[in-house]
């Protein structure tokens, strides 16, 4: 897959099959669109293109909403690449870009620069200033400029429409198993291991404190996780929160890697959320907390059996 950040550098791409969207999370609904675009492009012996934005449009037009993204830019690129798409265009989204009329976007980008043969969009797609560019308007422009518009139907799982906003809601509520169903994989956090509060070490359960790259951190609590470190995967117990027993004020993400004792400060780490055990609790004593952690670890071992 070729990554393009400057659309003006596109040369000699013949009548691509193109899909447009934000693709935050690259969930199973997105994956169906990517699969359809790739299949169509192969059938016609044409290149496939994903046209998406950086940053996410809501970060520019409605920063007050505080949108938390499911994937980092690097993760999104990696996931789209895995789908087998030929070209990924990361268009810079600005207020000026957001203010343009839908027809101008179609004429200048989709027709003049991309020379798209077909445009594939999701069932709820809208574009241009104030999202005035509806699917029906896009179809009208397709007839005017000579490209075909394909709309993928809403993708459902367990009776609910799969969407990035629904996945965000699940994660904020700590429902990581439900989020994984919609994502098609466990939700992950990644980052660098830094020195933390050393609380776990004093309790007999040393933890790796993670400086997280992701925006959306699941609800506070204890989780069963897979820990990806280098080329190896371990079982772990992750804690998200403020360690209320110790009255700390800074939210942290820490993970105890079961049966692991090496010094890994400075290493890159990724954790996959498998199941939420419980919320954070205030314990009367440190020894009472240690007993609970031991119970949590034993429960996690059973989950992974």
Same structural domain for residues 243 and 191?
yes
- pLDDT at residue number 292: 92
Same structural domain for residues 132 and 242?
no
Is 281 domain-assigned? yes
70 Cα distance to chain centroid: 3
Q: Is residue 160 a contact partner of residue 166, using CB atoms and an 8 Å limit?
A: yes
Range of the domain at 238: 187-303
- pLDDT at residue number 244: 67
Last residue of a domain, one of 126, 161, 196: 161
b vs e for 268-305, b when ≥16 Cβ sit within 10 Å of the residue's Cβ? ebbbbbbbbbeebeebeeeeebbebbeebbeebeeeee
- pLDDT at residue number 276: 98
Q: What is the pLDDT of residues 58-97, one digit of tens each?
A: 999 999 999 999 999 999 999 999 999 999 999 999 999 9
Alpha-carbon distance of 187 to 181, in angstroms, equals 10
Is 168 domain-assigned? no
CB-based burial of residue 252 (10 Å sphere; 0-12 exposed, 13-18 middle, 19+ buried)?
buried
Backbone angles phi, psi at 141, to 5 degrees: -70, -35
Same structural domain for residues 122 and 260?
no
Alpha-carbon distance of 186 to 129, in angstroms, equals 35
**Tally of structural domains, the chain:** 2
Is 84 domain-assigned? yes
- pLDDT at residue number 230: 92
Same structural domain for residues 192 and 286?
yes
- One digit per residue, pLDDT tens: the chain, 305 residues? 999 998 877 777 889 999 999 999 999 999 999 999 999 999 999 999 999 999 999 999 999 999 999 999 999 999 999 999 999 999 999 999 999 999 999 999 999 999 999 999 999 899 888 888 899 999 999 999 999 999 999 999 999 999 999 999 999 999 999 999 999 999 999 999 998 776 667 677 888 999 999 999 999 999 999 999 999 999 999 999 987 666 677 889 999 999 998 889 999 999 999 999 999 888 888 888 889 999 999 999 999 98
Alpha-carbon distance of 14 to 47, in angstroms, equals 7
Alpha-carbon distance of 117 to 145, in angstroms, equals 10
Q: Which H or E element spans position 175?
A: none
Tokens of 283: 């314990």
Q: Is residue 112 a contact partner of residue 7, using CB atoms and an 8 Å limit?
A: no
The contacts of residue 210 (CB under 8 Å, 6+ apart) are 189, 191, 192, 193, 194, 253, 254, 255, 269, 271
Tokens of 107: 């004429």
Is 169 domain-assigned? no
Same structural domain for residues 21 and 87?
yes
Is 147 domain-assigned? yes
pTM of the model: 0.93
Alpha-carbon distance of 280 to 296, in angstroms, equals 12
CB-based burial of residue 232 (10 Å sphere; 0-12 exposed, 13-18 middle, 19+ buried)?
exposed
Q: Does residue 133 sit in helix, strand or coil?
A: strand
Same structural domain for residues 22 and 63?
yes
């Amino acid at each position: 897959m070729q990554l393009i950040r400057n659309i003006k550098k596109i040369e000699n791409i013949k009548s691509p099959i193109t899909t447009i969207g934000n693709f935050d999370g690259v969930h199973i609904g997105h994956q169906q669109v990517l699969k359809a675009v790739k299949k169509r492009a192969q059938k016609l012996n044409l290149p496939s293109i994903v046209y998406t934005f950086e940053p996410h449009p809501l970060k520019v037009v409605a920063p007050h909403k505080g949108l938390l993204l499911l994937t980092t830019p690097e993760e999104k690129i990696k996931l789209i690449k895995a789908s087998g798409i030929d070209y990924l265009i990361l268009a810079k989204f600005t207020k000026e870009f957001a203010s343009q009329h839908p027809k101008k976007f179609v004429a200048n980008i989709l027709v003049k620069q991309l020379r798209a043969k077909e445009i594939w969009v999701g069932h709820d797609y809208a574009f241009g200033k104030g999202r005035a560019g509806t699917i029906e308007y896009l179809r009208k422009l397709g007839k005017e400029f000579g490209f075909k518009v394909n709309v993928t139907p809403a993708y459902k799982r367990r009776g609910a429409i799969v969407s990035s906003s629904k996945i965000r809601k699940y994660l904020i509520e700590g429902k990581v198993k439900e989020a994984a169903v919609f994502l098609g994989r466990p939700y992950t956090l990644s980052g660098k291991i830094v020195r933390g509060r050393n609380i776990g070490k004093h309790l007999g359960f040393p933890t790796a404190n993670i400086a997280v790259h992701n925006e959306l951190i699941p609800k506070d609590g204890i989780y069963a996780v897979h820990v990806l470190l280098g080329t190896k995967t371990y079982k772990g117990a992750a804690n998200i929160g403020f360690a209320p027993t110790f009255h700390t004020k800074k939210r942290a993400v820490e993970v105890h890697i079961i049966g692991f004792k090496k010094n890994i400060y400075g290493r890159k780490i990724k954790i996959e959320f498998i199941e939420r055990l419980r919320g954070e609790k205030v314990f009367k004593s440190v020894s009472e907390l240690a007993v609970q952690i031991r119970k949590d670890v034993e429960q996690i071992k059973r989950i992974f059996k």
